[in-house]
Amino acid sequence: MANEDKRRFPRFNSLNLSYVLVDGGADEVDKQTMGRTLDVSEVGIRLETHLPLEIGREMLLSIGLEDDVLDIRGRVVHSSQNKEGKNELGVEFLDKDAAASEILIKFIKAFRQQRGIKE
């Protein structure tokens, strides 16, 4: 049987630097790290980082998308380790406001145009 992509929104390969801040809550100290996006969609990203995070962990992200910086909250929905020993996190965006949506749509539209992908 073919492996079917069940995503509602297309994802685009995209390498962008990201700053990740994880709130430690009452029991832990806050954690921060740099990472890079591996792909992006309107609803989330796949992020590579040295910091392992468990599913359900929430974070603040600052992602450089071309000339804009997207500041957005996210939650880990997938977590695995790649061949190089880095962590790959599937992150779902939370509380996306109009400004964040506008930046994402603008970035994805520009990406499609650069690659000659029809909408």
Give 55-94 pLDDT, tens digit per residue.
999 999 888 877 778 888 999 999 999 898 999 999 999 9
Total domain count, the chain? 1
Could you give the CA distance from residue 48 to residue 101 in angstroms, rounded to a whole number?
22
Query: Is position 6 within any domain?
Result: no
Query: Is position 44 within any domain?
Result: no
Query: Is position 37 within any domain?
Result: no
Query: Is position 108 within any domain?
Result: yes
- Residues 6+ positions from 68 with CB-CB distance below 8 Å: 103, 106, 107
Query: Is position 92 within any domain?
Result: yes
Q: What is the mean pLDDT of residues 39-63?
A: 88
Tens-place pLDDT, residues 3-23: 444 545 555 555 567 778 887
From 85, 94, 8, 15, select the one nearest 47 (Cα to Cα). Answer: 15
Could you give the CA distance from residue 67 to residue 14 in angstroms, rounded to a whole number?
14
